[in-house]
Structure 1
Amino acid sequence: MNQTFLATPADSLGFISVNATDWAVELGVEAPTGAIYSTTSDLMAFGKAILSYEMLSPIRTRKWMKPLASTSSISTLIGAPWEIYRSNKVTKDGRLIEFYTKSGDLLTYNSVIALIPDYDLVMVALMSGPEVSGDTAYQVIGDAATALLPVIEQAGKAKAQTQYAGTYTDSSTNSTLTLSLDDSPGFNVTKWQVRGVDVIGTSLLGDSPVVPPQVRLYPSDLSTSSQTAWRAVFGGSADDVAEEDALNPWDQFSLFLIW
């Protein structure tokens, strides 16, 4: 981060909007709240270092990137120092995506850095001028996420289709596992037979009215040099979830855990 400064750098290094009076303002005792001068490339590098565990160990990073308090908004949580926003509007399957953001505003200067751990993605918006505000910076991040995440999701599914989708068999034990992709998260387990027994058709899911339930397979991000761990979740279809949700005053209360 060679272009990040705690003191005001030379004017030639900065973006100074017309008639701006706050480029070199001194914050005094408020300086420790984040009074730094930086660039999009430096903040991108900083965000990537966090997500790749270069700043802290994986355990400490995951502990740090967690909410500490809720708010009156069901989509907004508070971390340290994160402003965490959750949205189900940016992917085709409608699952919740968390944005770990930190914003800063000083008169005509506005900034937002956003980390999206689910995609190892970092976004930065730095802007200044009389026509912009902190809301504008968040709108830029939101528009970029709405445009990028579906494309990234599609590319990821295409790669997963090539690497993992298909039918796995073990003739010696009469066992078969078939994985297919659809518009929902993870893989749809369309066939799961172990030693001739239909695992899905004979499974018990509490008091679920769905027989057989839907089984989805999700990556756990745990792997060794020769093995990869996945998590199987038994649930219902989108219609089953909607039917269960209609019976409760809160969303996604259903027994059908789809993510």
Structure 2
Amino acid sequence: MTGQRYCPPPGLLLPPPNNAQPFTPTIKLETTLKSNLWFNETTIAIKASIGGTPAFEYAHQPGSKQISNLHDTKFRIASATKLFTVLAVLLSRAQIGWEDSITQFVPGLNDASYNDVTIGALAGQTSGLGRFGYVGDLSLTPGFSTAQLGLPNSARQLPGCDAFPGGKPCSRDQVIAMFNDAAYAPTSPNSGPLYSNIAYNLLGMALEQVHSQSYEQAIQELIFDPIGMRNSSFDTPSNGSDAILPQAGDQWFAAPFGNFNPSGGIWSTPNDMLLFLEALQTHKLLSPAQTRKWLQPSSLLPSLQQLLGAPWEIFRPTDIDVAVPRPIDLYTKAGGVSGYSSHEVLVPEYGVALTIHAAGKYATMAVQNILPLVAKPLIAHADEQARAQATTKYVGTYRSAEGNSSITLALDDGPGLKIERAFMNGVAIIPALAAVQGVNPSDASARLYPTGADSQGSEKESWSIFINRMKIGEGRAFAELDCASWNWGDAARYAGQPLDRIVFDMSQGKAVGVELVGWRTVLKKVE
């Protein structure tokens, strides 16, 4: 069998779609949702957009008492709050450095224990701190008996503060005393990640210190107000007409979170949360470069399909039905407490923003089930839209006035755009570029990828030529070392200019010409 296997460079295969058509869920999706045991006991609100264009929404509330618009109704987002805490830290970069020790911002912390605990380690779950502190300690749990686990009796009495959401909050002195207690102090900072809520409590205290105001007010001024999140706050709603609240007998955590607000205290609506995700996409608060840096993974996990960021939980599923099968990067943050669950999702490759909220005793199970049911077909739809857009915007032949230089681009079943033919001054340049790079020119082929992220959507879009180096039938190298495309770009230059760079001249959203930078040549689209 002859032909090419593909090893595309990191980043986009094609630009994300603009003005995407709405995603219409299949009957199967509706039927699958309704077939779950949790469906008739769970309130659900889902909202999604592609490139800022509304793509999909769904709402379901069981029972006879119905709220008219669940997308404008408050749910507790729980640990999705951590996105706001880290974003507030990033927006405070003039006062808080990512590699600064937390001891600079929380007076009273034991220097010996916390000097190596950085802001970045706290945000990325590698601080070495445990999960909860006093919260959830079995010795404070009503009805717990040491006999259940064969535990000995202990004379040590913990403070009853912060024991459960809604309980008496610990004072600042009590919080610092807990962190300085050897039983709660961090162990081996910067080792493997361990999920820690109290790490975010420290980040909240750091924000209070540098802004000289409460954490809650800092989030209001840094994020809620600039974005326009008018229906988001840390106050537990009192009105069941604009929030999903527990009824008599429901064991939900609807009480204030107190010291744990930086970890999970926000109440928000699906509309507000989609507004938040779209603000990240459009760089309303962070620049494109800062946003990309924030989306970088910070830790590896045992699964090949999971990475960890700060606080992004990055999934890389390989079973999404896209035209070019590959791992698709989903930047997510889950949140869950008894009675409430949420999942916030960004898929930068396609401009997808997705927010899922649920309330009820099966809320966590519902959100876990819903995420793949909605995300997979939604991303597949966005892939179809991106490919249709690429056909309209870029596919065709571009030629010089003299006719001895031309390039023809096509969309096939491979990644990026296929370069069907490319001649400069009468020379076939793909075999020539292959030879320069040490690739056999006899059957050389190449593809075009959008590698200038900041140029996408502008009048001058920067793309790159990549020579295909992998043949069908060849076995994979150890650790796939034969697929090192990140090391193949900018392989050759002439008089300072890269020979792999192509710049599309865009007019009214379509390519009307293309510049081959290294050849100092501009071609006009002719068909």
Length-normalised TM-score, structure 2 = 0.45
Mapped to 1, the partners of 2:481 and 2:292 lie a distance apart of 25
Q: Separation in 1 of the partners of 2:341 and 2:377?
A: 22
Question: Which residue pairs with 2:269 in the alignment?
Answer: 39
The structure with the largest strand share of the pair is: 1
Contact 2:257 2:264 in 1 (8 A): no
2: CA distance between counterparts of 1:224 and 1:15?
A: 40
Correspondence for 1:231 = 464
1:210 to partner: Cα distance: 7.4
Amino acid paired to 2:483: S
State the distance in 2 between where 1:143 and 1:67 align. 25
Kindly indicate whether residue 249 of structure 2 is the aligned counterpart of residue 16 of structure 1. no
Cα 1:71–1:253 shift into 2, 3 Å: farther
Following the alignment from structure 1 to structure 2, what is the Cα–Cα distance between the partners of residues 233 and 196?
21
1:15 and 1:122 map into 2 onto residues whose CA distance is: 23
Q: Deviations over 1:136-158 (max 9, x none)?
A: 32332222121122222222222
C-alpha distance in structure 1 between counterparts of 2:284 and 2:342, whole Å: 23
Alignment partner, residue 198 of structure 1: 428
Q: Per the alignment, in what secondary structure is the counterpart of residue 42 of structure 1?
A: helix
1:199 to partner: Cα distance = 1.2
Identity of aligned residues (%): 28
- Residue 123 (1) aligns with residue 381 (2): no
Is structure 2 residue 385 aligned with structure 1 residue 169?
no
SS in 1 for 2:435: coil
Matched ranges for 1:61-100 at <5 A? 61-90=291-320, 91-100=322-331
Tell me the CA shift for residue 250 of structure 1: 2.8
Distance in 2 of aligned mates of 1:119 and 1:58: 16
Secondary structure of 2:329's match?
strand
Alpha-carbon spacing, 1:69–1:171, altered in 2? closer, same or farther (3 Å): same
Q: Which residue of 2 aligns with 1:248?
A: 477
Note the C-alpha offset of 1:9. 1.3
Q: CA deviation at 1:186?
A: 1.4
Q: State the distance in 1 between where 2:261 and 2:230 align.
A: 20
Distance 2:484 2:324 in 1: 18
Distance 1:211 1:195, change over 3 A: same
Q: Decide whether the 8 Å contact of 1:123 with 1:141 is kept in 2.
A: no
2: CA distance, partners of 1:53 / 1:94: 29
Counterpart selection for 2:374 from 119, 144, 164: 144
Change in CA separation of 1:4 and 1:224 when aligned onto 2, cut-off 3 Å:
closer
Q: Which residue identity does 1:11 align to in structure 2?
A: N
Compared with structure 1, are the counterparts of its residues 247 and 158 closer, same or farther at alpha carbon in structure 2 (3 Å cutoff)? closer
Q: Note the residue ranges of structure 1 that are not aligned, 5 or more in a row.
A: none
Q: Over residues 22-53 of structure 1, what are the superposed CA-to-partner deviations in whole Å (9 max), with x where a residue is unaligned?
A: 25223333222021111111110000001100
Shift in CA distance, 130/33, structure 1 to aligned 2, threshold 3 Å: same
Larger relative contact order, structure 1 or 2 (CA cutoff 8 Å, min sep 6): 2
Q: Secondary structure at the match of 2:447?
A: strand
- Give the superposition deviation at 1:3: 1.4
Query: How far apart in 1 are the matches of 2:284 and 2:290?
Result: 11
Mapped partners of 2:256, 2:466: distance in 1: 54
Q: Is the 8 A contact 1:205 1:213 kept in 2?
A: no
Stretch of structure 1 that moved more, 164-173 or 204-213: 204-213
**Does structure 1 retain, via aligned residues, the 8 Å contact 2:253–2:338?**
no
Residues 94-127 of structure 1 deviation map (CA, whole Å, 9 limit, x = unaligned): 1332111111110121111011111121101111
Cα offset for 1:198?
A: 0.8
User: CA contact under 8 A between 2:341 and 2:367: conserved in structure 1?
Assistant: yes
Match of 1:182 among 378, 391, 412: 412
Q: Distance in 1 between matches of 2:436 and 2:319?
A: 29
Worse overlay, 15-24 or 67-76: 15-24
Larger Rg: 2
Give the distance between the partners of 2:481 and 2:305, measured in 1 at CA.
Answer: 14
Distance 1:182 1:42 in 2: 39
Q: Structure 1 CA distance, aligned partners of 2:262 and 2:459?
A: 46
Cα distance in 1 between the residues matched to 2:369 and 2:437: 43
Cα distance between partner residues in 2 of 1:210 and 1:95: 27
Code of the aligned partner of 2:404:
N
C-alpha distance in 1 between matches for 2:484 and 2:295: 27
Unaligned runs of 5+ in 2: 1-228, 490-527
RMSD after superposition: 2.5
Classify the secondary structure of the residue corresponding to 1:230: strand
The 1:42/1:252 distance shift into structure 2, 3 A limit, reads farther
* 1:2 to 2:2 alignment: no
The structural deviation recorded for 1:180 is: 0.3
Larger mean CA deviation between 76-85 and 19-28 belongs to: 19-28
The corresponding residue for 1:103 is 334
Alpha-carbon separation, structure 2, partners of 1:39 and 1:252 = 46
CA contact (8 A) 2:350 2:386 kept: no
Which has a greater percent of helix?
Answer: 2
Are 2:285 and 1:52 equivalent residues in the alignment? Answer: no
Q: In the alignment, residue 385 of structure 2 is paired with which amino acid?
A: A
How far the C-alpha of 1:68 sits from its partner, in A, is 0.9
